[in-house]
Every structure is written in C-alpha cells, then in structure tokens.
Amino acid sequence: MHHDDLRPGALFNDEDSNTSANLPFEQVLATRLSRRSLLRGGAAATAAAGAALTGCATPMASGEGPAPVAKLGFQPVPHSLADSVIVPPGYTAQVIYALGDPLGADVPAFKNDGTDERWDLRAGDHHDGMEWFGLDAQGKPSDTFASRGLLAMNHEATTDEKRSSFFIHADGGTANLPRPGAEIDKELMIHGLSVVEIQRNPKGWSYQPASAFNRRVTTLSEAVITGPAAGSAHLVTPFSPGGTKARGTLNNCGAGRTPWGTYVSGEENWYGYFFRDAQDDTRRNDPQMTAALNRYGRKAGAASRHGWESGGTDDRYSRWNISATGASARDDWRNEFHTFGWVVELDPYSPNTLITKRTALGRFAHENVTFAKATAGEPVVAYMGCDARGEYIYKFVSSEKWDPADAHARNRLVAGDKYLDRGTLYVARFNADGSGDWLELSLKNPAVKDFKGFDFKNAADICVFTRLAADAAGATKMDRPEWAGVNPKNGEVYITLTNNSQRSSATVDAANPRAYTDMKGSKTQKGNVNGHIVRLAEARPADASFRWDIFLFASQADGDKTNVNLSNLTDENDLSSPDGLVFSKATGVCWIETDDGAYTDVTNCMLLAALPGKVGDGGARQVTSGDKTVTTQAGKPQTPATLRRFLVGPKGAEITGITETPDGRALFINIQHAGENTKMADVNDPDKYESQWPANAGYGAGKRPRSATIVITRNDGGVIGT
Ligand code: FEO
Ligand code: CA
Ligand code: CA
Ligand code: CA
C-alpha cells in the first residue's frame, strides 16, 4: 500500500525501525451491474493484435501444466494519466466487485454517499492480494473449472486524510479526537478479508450477491493462534488469557494460495493502528520490551492512524491502546500488539471456519506468501518479504514432508496445521559474489542464541520478535521487500524491492546497488527511487544457500543508462515501484504491478507482462552512486519483446492483487485507492475528486471513488497475454 511521497498522514510505509547495525551485505444485482465494455485501450474494438490468435490453442496439459509462452502477443499500452483503466487493443476490462457491494440478498444496494450501513456484509475497502478458488457446476472445489469460482481477497486499508476514512462517512467523518464510536464501527468493518462468488455467463463475469460462500472477515472476527507462539505469555490478553486466540486481522496486503487449497494473507502495516502513550516506557521499566516495541514501529508516544482507541470504553475501541496501564497483561491491552503481524490462513470453501494465525511463519510487516512447487517427500517451502525500508526476505521450510494426497485434503485447515505449524524460518543474506545464505532463526544459531539485543528464551520468542532474531542472524537490509513469486518453469524466486528513499551511497551494496537522484517536477527524489526485482536460484527449495541476480532495475526510460536504467527500459516498458508479482500458471508470464509515487507525474500505476529469463543470464556490473562504486549481478537487459506494459490504472490508484482462471482466459486484478489524493474537505464535491472511478466507467451509484476488482478478458476469448 501507499507509496512514499504523499501527505505526511499517509506515510504508512514510513517506518524506519531497523536501526540494527547489519552491514550492507546485505479484487449486485445483475440489473444494476453494467455489462458494457469499459475502458478499451487505443482504437477500442479493433482486431486482436498481431500474433495473438496462436495463444487460443494453449492447451492445459495434465500434471506439469501448459508450456510457458514463447512471446508476448499484445500491443504495449502507453503511459496514461487518464482516470480510467487502459488495456491493449483486443482486450476488455470490466468492474465486477467494488467497495460497499452487498454480500447478502437482504443487504441494500450501495448508495456510495457516506450513509450506507451493514458493513458486516459489504465488500471492504482497498482490495489487495487475491486468489482464485474454483468451483464446479455443483459448487464443489475444482482445480480445472474456469467459469465459476470464489475470489478470496484482502481489504488492506482505507483512503484517509488526517484520521478519518472519509469516503465512507457522510461529511467525511471526524478527524479530531475523540472520534465518534459510530464512525469507528464502520472503519473496523471495512478492513479484513472477503470471499465472494463470481460466475461467467454469456454476458460476462459478475459476482453473486446471494452466494452462501460469501463471507467477510474483519478486525473483530475471532482467530485461532497456532504454531510455536500459541500460548506464549506475549500473546496473553483479556480476550484470551491463554494466549491462543485473537480478534481480527488487519492491514492485509499480499496473499497466497497453499498447495492444499487455502488462502493465506499477510498482515502488513498493522502497527500504525495502535496508540502507545508517552509514559509507557517509564511505566513498563522493561528495556528489552521497549527495544522490541521500537523495532516494530511503536515508540512511546506513537499516535494511531485512525484514533480507534478514542471511541469509548468498550474493548473494541480500548484494545487499540497498547500502553501498559493495568496490573498485568490480563488487565490491559499491552499484548494486543503482538496478536498482529502474522500470516493468516482462511479456507474459502468453508465459510464457518475461523481464520488461523500461523505463528511459525514469523511476525513482521508481511507482504505476500508464495510457495515453491510442492514435491512429494520434500518439505513445503514458502517465501515472504517484510515491507519496510531496510527489512528482510524470509523463507519457511516445513518439518513435515509433502504428501500429494493433501492437495485434496478433506479438512484443509488440518493440512495447514500439518505444514505451517512446525518448521524452520530463515532470513536471507546476499553476498557480493552472487551467492546467498539462508540464516536459520532458531536457538540452534549461536548468533540468535547469544544476541545481546534480546534474550530469546524459546521458539515462541523468535516467532513473536522475528525482526530482532533476523537482526541477530546478520540478514541483508533490503529496499522494501514486497511480493515474491516462483517461476513455474525453473523454481526461481522473484522478489520485488519497491523502492527505498533512504538508500544512500554510504549504504549501497551488491543486492541493493543504486542510490540516485530523480526529479518529479520540481521535487528532488533520492535513494533507490524506482526499485528493483531480485531473483534467487536454489538447487532445491529447502536448501540453505542460493545464487542471485537482479532481474529488473525499474527506471524511467530516460534514466542514466550507466547507473540507473541498467535494464535498458524504453517507453514500452518503463516502470517505477514494482510491488505485486505473480507468475501465471497458465502461461508462465511474470505479471508485475506497480504501487508508485515517483513516476506518477508521467503515468498512473500499471501492470506489465515479462518473459522471465534465469539467474545468471546477464553478468557482473559496476554501478556508481555518488562517490561509491559497487559490483552487482545484473540480469539480461530487457527489450519490449521481453517486458511490456499491459495496463494502466485510474488516477491515484495502485494496481494490486492478481489471479487468473485455470485456463488463463480471465485475469482478475484489484484497483486500490483510486482518488486517494482527494482532500477530506472536498468529500461532497465530486468535481474536486482526484478520481471518479469506477462510476465514470459505468459501475454503481455515486461518484466517490471505490477500490474494486476488475476482470480482463480477450475479445476473441483467448489466453491473456499471449
Ligand atoms: Fe501493502 Fe507493501 O504493500
Ligand atoms: Ca504491496
Ligand atoms: Ca507498496
Ligand atoms: Ca522523474
């Protein structure tokens, strides 16, 4: 979420808590849903581009899946500052599910004027990570059906200025403290997850408002805590004196799909929702806990993003104040903070099951979770980024070996218990020579066991205070790790590093080699302004070492080709701040989404398609930043044949969440926070909105911008991107 250059109140990736000395080695009613084609690019309904028709024949082979496509078959979309979604000629984008849409037959249609109620059964805000879960004609889980399914998705956050989620309140809401409980109650419900059924009929795709599968999970939904930290003293709260339960999930950013067919979601910038008073350190008199709270972005005196703690004495408000004011952790909400920062597992096919917080995967600013291809008799392996400046890349290796029968487990959450509750967590160190090491985060690692910064006593401590354990291990500080994706062809792992305004010539290293200056109008931007994508090759996913290179250096096309535009990007494929990254299982195409604030003077955020190469397809390269030169490992430069822009979004929006039908003929993405630069004072003046999307695309009532899921299809019915 949220790029880096907005008004101060919105800087939720602005956390810089990693002061460790680690060296720089370092996603309606049918009558109201518009069926018309929205938003076609270029000459609208012109014939499909070039060689595109060959893609229609892409077969779904059994077992191994289809062969990766050899070439991209669409015309690149140009830069755009328009308030619309632009796709290539021959493609159509259609809005199917937006903020406020009813998820129950008895829920009134969304008025979109700030007076709507029943947020417990409406689409949440800021659609983010999303996964497809197929259904057959009888409504049973299906790996192959491509016209009926569930979308599980994250509702990460909300568009705010000052403190209020202003587009959901009639007059923008109350910015000053204390905030009215009635406003907060709505805000508590627009965060979390949703599961929504969608279907394709002859007129196109639509969501099913009355499906029994539809579900919301919010900041108030009960969660089960499992793994090493379950029952830890650090998780004892008045809600769960045994430390085995929590309430809600929050700021869910990236997502993933487990090999056993459940949804996993990362809690990212959750820390910013908590208040801690200025006297809290003195009162606690516990330097180690002070260090831990600081390391997770909550210094004493930290104000909360929305002031939820100010809503009244009911604990749905007071729990956002983590100051230690009572006699023990059972008497105040000091440990509520530790009940967030986890990977949450949900079974979309079972609406009555609770969400589970999987503590074995560590606690940090989780982005997505991507799994290596599951191999019989080998551990299950997952890759994860911690998105803040100078944070780390992690890998989880299960203790249990994969049993292919679990791909269709009768109880999917029991399979989750099996593979995600016991295992080993590692953090990445990138060496200058192109090698890398996965450093174990356990008491078996002397650097962790003997760490002076925190006295880790057991596995639970390491799970709760993962960032500190990673500091101890000597991990490499990266330029904001966002999504990880695994290339289905060769198992290589791609991780987006979105940008880092604080990377400097003093801290550049081989894996984060650029610190430069870029102008945005009259504004000077510094550091790794545009971000990059690093790539890892492992002999086997469970291995403790890897080789790496940098697949892509994001840059403006006119960036200095010696030290900045190292991937030789052109107008057809230049980009800034890569964030979402997913490999299509149908085509092998690597989809890259941006969440940018640096290049938005020239273009809105975008989706690009890449044909991946492999680690080592380029070579060593010198990069100079100020007075320092480092040698990095650069992948082969790009051309418009290997990387092209596929879509540009509306004003103020980030492009995020991406999934597809198994046949690759429908691609679903999320448009998050269109119009986020609108001022709260203008909430009743649509002419002053930065964006009126998706109303201006024919979707829904009111002109207030709404985050939404769109589906992209090819007019000839072919496979997307080919
Ligand atoms: Fe929610 Fe790191 O993006
Ligand atoms: Ca993200
Ligand atoms: Ca981001
Ligand atoms: Ca610029």
Note whether residue 721 is domain-resident: no
> Contact, 705 vs 604, CB < 8 A?
no
- The pLDDT, as a whole number, for residue 66 is 60
Note whether residue 218 is domain-resident: yes
Angle of CA points 57, 58, 63, to nearest 5°: 140
What is the dihedral sign for C-alpha 141, 142, 143, 147? negative
Q: Supply the residue whose CA is at minimum distance from atom 3 of ligand 1.
A: 1
Note whether residue 4 is domain-resident: no
Note whether residue 30 is domain-resident: yes
Instruction: Please indicate whether residue 156, judged by its CB atom, sits closer than 6 Å to ligand 1.
Output: yes
Note whether residue 719 is domain-resident: no
- The pLDDT, as a whole number, for residue 52 is 28
Ligand 1 atom with the shortest distance to the CA of 367: 2
Distance CA 460, CA 233 (A): 9
E strands, 21-69, in order: none
> Contact, 455 vs 288, CB < 8 A?
yes
331 C-alpha to ligand 2 centroid (Å): 35
Instruction: Please indicate whether residue 268, judged by its CB atom, sits closer than 6 Å to ligand 1.
Output: yes
- The pLDDT, as a whole number, for residue 99 is 99
> Contact, 130 vs 142, CB < 8 A?
no
> Contact, 251 vs 270, CB < 8 A?
yes
What is the CA 718 to chain-centroid distance, rounded?
28
Q: Supply the residue whose CA is at minimum distance from atom 1 of ligand 1.
A: 1
- The pLDDT, as a whole number, for residue 16 is 78
Question: What does residue 435 show for φ and ψ, rounded to 5 degrees?
Answer: -95, 170
Structural domain count of the chain: 1
Beta strands 389-391 and 516-520: pairing type? unpaired
> Contact, 335 vs 191, CB < 8 A?
no
- The pLDDT, as a whole number, for residue 4 is 42
- The pLDDT, as a whole number, for residue 54 is 26
Note whether residue 6 is domain-resident: no
Token couple for 537: 């090759």
Instruction: Please indicate whether residue 26, judged by its CB atom, sits closer than 6 Å to ligand 1.
Output: no
Task: State the burial class of residue 347 (Cβ atoms within 10 Å of its Cβ: 0-12, 13-18, 19+).
Answer: buried
Cα Rg for the chain, rounded, in angstroms? 24
Instruction: Please indicate whether residue 86, judged by its CB atom, sits closer than 6 Å to ligand 1.
Output: no
Mean pLDDT of each 10-residue bin along the chain, 722 residues long: 40 71 41 32 30 30 60 98 98 98 98 98 98 97 97 98 95 97 98 98 95 98 98 98 98 98 98 98 98 98 97 98 98 98 98 98 98 98 98 99 97 98 98 98 98 97 99 98 98 98 98 98 98 98 98 98 98 98 97 98 98 98 97 98 98 98 98 98 97 98 98 98 96
- The pLDDT, as a whole number, for residue 673 is 98
- The pLDDT, as a whole number, for residue 20 is 77
Which residue range forms the structural domain that includes residue 173?
12-714
> Contact, 635 vs 553, CB < 8 A?
no
Note whether residue 534 is domain-resident: yes
Instruction: Please indicate whether residue 391, judged by its CB atom, sits closer than 6 Å to ligand 1.
Output: no
What's the whole-model pTM score? 0.93
What is the CA 244 to chain-centroid distance, rounded?
26
Residue 439, number of CB atoms within 10 A of its CB: 23
